[in-house]
Structure 1
Amino acid sequence: MRTLISGGLVVNAAGSARADVLVEGEKVAALLAPGLEPALDVDERVDATGKYVIPGGIDAHTHMEMPFGGTQSSDDFTSGTIAAAWGGTTTIIDFAVQAKGTSLLATLDRWHAKADGKCAVDYGFHMIVSDVDDSSLKEMGACLDAGVNSFKMFMAYPGVFYATDGEILRAMQRAREIGGTVMMHAENGIAIDELVAQALAEGRTDPVQHGLTRPPELEGEATSRAIALARVTGAPLYVVHLSAAQALDAVTEARDTGQNVFAETCPQYLYLSLEDMARPGFEGAKYVASPPLRPVEHQARLWRGLRTNDLSVVSTDHCPFCFADQKVLGQGDFSKIPNGMPGVEHRIDLLHQGVVRGEIGLERWVEICSTTPARMFGLHPRKGVVAPGADADLVVYDPAARQTISAATHHMNVDYSAFEGFELTGRVEVVLSRGRVVVDRSGFRGSAGHGRFLARELNQYLV
């Protein structure tokens, strides 16, 4: 199968140039000078005139079918990856969740069973380490051999995922030994649980209390503590879903000293705020996630962090729960609202608004959506770049198109949109996954099972 994408501006993190993209089979075969296409024998032609051709997005933080609080996230690996494809994301990295008392390898087998033959785009796994003992520490090496080189830990959720500082230190020592990367949910869970208990005892039960009992100072403190543990052990640290200026300050200071500390943020922290959790009635439950949405003044700091590369990646933390029958579990008790928001379908579009507004440049848009996560999680140069030899994961993007986000038109398996009514400039027009057109304006042309598991190499940013 040969496909030619002609007339577009090819945008990579390293620069942009007008070129036609020739795809043969699953790979990019060549970048050609514009105007040669009439002489080429191809099976399919895609007209990208006036549009960008960018590498497929890589969402390095999703939770499909994730168990949480007696329910599970509403997107499975089929619906979630189809929605990802609609939004120009051609690779997800999901989280395999170790339950207490189970092995890491058995956990990985369970997540393979969930995803095998069901994904519409390519996928990989991170491993959530809930039990830190001699057995799990040993198995971290076996996970690396199985293509999983990143291990998430939690300073939040005591009694569920929470790890003590000693356990984190041991896991970081092991990661340093084998070349893995520790990912950290950095919130002070012990202090937060006390604040939650006090709020409930005082009758403060509305959704906004979720944010008020998880203040940004406790994210900043935990981030600083995680960085200190990483410094002591010499391990690399990747801070997930950073939301607060205090946490960003800690990351920036560490990076300025040359420490291997990296951080991601998410679109919800760039566009939504604590005020959304304070919406009338129970509407605020739609916006409950951890860390919580912050006061609006944090947003400018996060955009600046993206410009300075102190925030290296934007992922979604896609963890959808339907409002009608899942979020309502927390009516009368905000602590029981399932934590998470949908977003896998709209990340690239929302971040393009940063280009439109002058917050970030065109190449930086591609860098944070695709190239850096590919490098960070061992997928580059197979993914994250439009270049000969790379997988033909390609997006034709119309920068002038207009669209309005709505639950009525999105493809995620959830009954609301956190960005309902947002009017956007720019839209995904055509998406190729490994050379196959899976989305175009006629609809979804892919299939469940097309996506392949990606065994990943080591973090390319380690020094």
Structure 2
Amino acid sequence: MARTLITGGLVVTASDEMHVDVLIDQGKVVALATPDSHGWTADRVLDATGMYVIPGGVDAHTHMEMPFGGTTASDSFETGTRAAAWGGTTTIIDFAIQSRGGSLREGFDSWLHKADGQCAVDYAFHMIMSDVNESSLKEMDTLIEGGVSSFKLFTAYPGVFLSDDGQILRAMQRAADNGGLIMTHAENGLAIDVLVEQALARGERDPRYHGEVRKALLEAEATHRVIRLSQVAGAPVYVVHVSAQEAVAELARARDEGLPVFGETCPQYLFLSTDNLAEPDFEGAKYVCSTPLRPKEHQAALWRGLRTNDLQVVSTDHCPFCFKGQKDMGIGDFSRIPNGLPGVENRMDLLHQAVVDGHVSRTRWIDIACAAPAKMFGLYPQKGTIAPGADADIVIYDPEAEQVMSAKTHHMNVDYSAYEGKPVKGRVRTVLSRGVPVIEAGRYVGHAGHGTYLPRGLSQFP
């Protein structure tokens, strides 16, 4: 494997900004030093003058090939991880799904088989628990031993994923014993189903009603509930895709009490709103996801939560469905629109735009997109930083490049962009995954099968 030297750039990590060179050997970072302090030689020299040298992004929430609502997410592990690389993300953590009546292991093996030999970048899995019982609770222990240390439960989607409070409590109690991390989709699904039924009966069928029935208070109520269940169990909890200011307030209150409570938000909640859901001619269907987009006034609370560390991670919840042939299943009935947005390619650039706009600092950008997710899910310092011993997952990033996001130029396997026409400043130039070029001078030079499965340790946050 070629010995590589990256020289002339500004290395940005979650804690530091340093004008240092980076030496890579055997797929690892082996040394950092100021340019005038070493005499390193290398087989390959990458000039990063005027660029940022940053860790590869860690997207801790993706759904490649996920079956949902009678269809399947349009990105495969091959196309989705290739798009991730184009956007500067070098690790994804996807969700394996336990089938009702099946075992956790069967679900994990099924997803491992889907991804095997397909991924352009490294990958790991969380486990969705659809059927909490004595057998699956015992299986949590063995999955943790095998490197799957986080388990997602839902207070939403009755009849599909929903677990009742007793099941959630039991899973949390088990996690308190085995060190696993419980993740929760926090919305009151039973109440939402009542509101969906009532809205349809009134003839309210357009995509915008998806956001109106999935009320912010029902996200806040479920967030409060899972926090208190975790407190009873004595276990940490991680709330996924937080979108409502009322839910942020629940997380902040719990953290002020000293509870091990953590939260994630996504770019769609930071940059999009119910204005998009209300776009005419069924265009709003492009923006149907759960939790839903909120009115713009919620965005300030999310940005504040990221700055105050009441929210620790920005992931994408990448779950793309094509507008034609998938989203249009819901014409005339918003409840039939597949829930999910594309975004795995856009996250790093959108968050750099947040730096440009003054929402977060450069080091906080790297924290919420790289280091914090790696720590949260047991991959740090192998992933999420640039330091001796870390995997050489490194992005050379041009902070001055300008681009306009569009479906015409993105690499996700979906026929629209959620950010169509949005100008952003900053662009990936070169991406190394374990020292191997995947994106080079704006060209894809990677291949399916380069990415390897990552067994994970326990969370380093609680």
- Common fold by TM > 0.5: yes
State the match for 1:2 in structure 2. 3
Task: Tell me the secondary structure at the aligned position of residue 124 of structure 1.
Answer: strand
Question: 1:388 Cα deviation (Å)?
Answer: 0.8
Question: In the alignment, is residue 18 of structure 1 matched against residue 28 of structure 2?
Answer: no
By how many angstroms is 1:40 displaced? 3.4
Q: Does 1:135 align with 2:135?
A: yes
Judge conservation of contact 2:429–2:440 (CA < 8 Å) in 1: yes
Correspondence 1:391 to 2:391: yes
Paired residue type of 2:209? Q
CA distance in 2 between partners of 1:400 and 1:16 (Å)? 17
Q: How far did residue 442 of structure 1 move?
A: 4.3
Indicate the residue corresponding to 1:89 in structure 2.
89
What residue is the counterpart of 1:224 in the other structure? 224
Give the structure 2 partner of residue 429 of structure 1: 429
Q: Once the two structures are aligned, what percentage of the paired residues are identical?
A: 62
In the alignment, residue 35 of structure 2 is paired with which amino acid?
P
Distance 1:41 1:7 in 2: 15
Check 1:178–1:222 CA distance in 2 against 1; reply closer, same or farther (3 A cut). same
Question: Following the alignment from structure 2 to structure 1, what is the Cα–Cα distance between the partners of residues 59 and 186?
Answer: 20
Deviations 1:14-49 (Å, cap 9, x if unpaired)? 111100111112100111211467x53322111110
Structure-2 change in CA distance of 1:442 and 1:169 (3 Å): closer
- Listed as ranges, the matches of 1:85-234 within 5 Å are 85-234=85-234
Q: Report the counterpart of residue 307 of structure 2 in structure 1.
A: 307
What is aligned with 1:243? 243
Amino acid at match of 1:19: V
TM-superposed CA distance for 1:146, in Å, is: 1.2
Partners of 2:394 and 2:441 in 1: CA distance: 15
Distance 2:121 2:43 in 1: 22
| Deviation of the 1:83 alpha carbon | 0.2
**Cα distance in 2, alignment partners of residues 90 and 396 from structure 1:** 12
Residue type matched to 1:31 in 2?
A: L
The AA in structure 1 aligned to 2:203 is G
1:385-415 deviations in whole A, cap 9, x for unaligned?
1011100000111111100000000000000
In structure 2, give the amino acid aligned to 1:127.
Answer: M
Shift of 1:61: 0.1
Following TM superposition, where does structure 1 have runs of at least 4 consecutive aligned residues deviating by more than 3 angstroms? none
Structure 2 counterpart SS, 1:297: helix
Could you say which residue in structure 1 is the equivalent of 2:338?
A: 338
Amino acid of the structure 1 residue aligned with 2:431: V
| SS of corresponding position for 2:136 | helix
Partner of 1:31: 32
C-alpha RMSD of matched pairs (Å): 0.8
Please give the alpha-carbon distance, in whole angstroms, between the structure 2 residues aligned to 1:357 and 1:35. 34
Determine the structure 2 residue equivalent to 1:455.
455
Residues in 1 aligned to 2:262 and 2:351: alpha-carbon distance in whole angstroms: 19
Equivalent position of 1:70 in the other structure: 70
1:46 and 2:46 are equivalent in the alignment: yes
Matched-pair contact (CA < 8 Å) for 2:430–2:442: no
Q: Counterpart of 2:273 in structure 1: which amino acid?
A: S
Q: Match for 1:331: what amino acid?
A: I
2:320 aligned with 1:320, yes or no?
Answer: yes
Tell me if the contact between 2:95 and 2:128 (Cα under 8 Å) persists in the aligned partners.
Answer: yes
- Name the count of aligned residue pairs: 461
What's the CA shift string for 1:190-211, capped at 9, x where partnerless? Answer: 1000000001111110000100
Evaluate the alpha carbon distance shift between residue 449 and residue 276 of structure 1 in structure 2; reply closer, same or farther with a 3 A threshold.
Answer: same
Higher mean C-alpha displacement, 262-271 vs 9-18: 9-18
Structure 2: gaps of 5 or more residues:
none
What is the rounded CA distance, in whole Å, between the counterparts of 2:412 and 2:44 in structure 1? 29
Cα distance, 1:441 vs structure 2: 2.2
CA distance in 2: counterparts of 1:41 and 1:22, whole angstroms: 9
Q: Is the 8 A contact 2:20 2:32 kept in 1?
A: yes
Unaligned runs of 5+ in 1: none
Structure 2 residue matching 1:101: 3-state secondary structure: coil
Q: Distance in 2 between matches of 1:222 and 1:442?
A: 44
Q: For residue 79 of structure 1, what is the amino acid of its counterpart?
A: T
Partner of 2:30: helix, strand, or coil? strand
- TM, length-normalised to structure 1: 0.99
The residue correspondences of 1:281-430 to structure 2 (distance < 5 A) are 281-430=281-430
Give the Cα–Cα distance (whole angstroms) in 1 for the partners of residues 56 and 403 of structure 2. Answer: 20
Q: Distance in 2 between matches of 1:86 and 1:252?
A: 34
Find the aligned partners of 1:86 and 1:23 in 2 and give their Cα distance. 21
Deviations 1:75-134 (A, max 9, x none): 000000000000000000000011101100011110110001110000000000000110
**Alignment deviations for residues 190-241 of structure 1 (CA, whole Å, 9 cap, x no partner):** 1000000001111110000100000100000000000010000011100000
In the aligned structure 1, how far is the partner of 2:353 from the partner of 2:300? 14
Counterparts of 2:299 and 2:13, CA distance in 1: 26
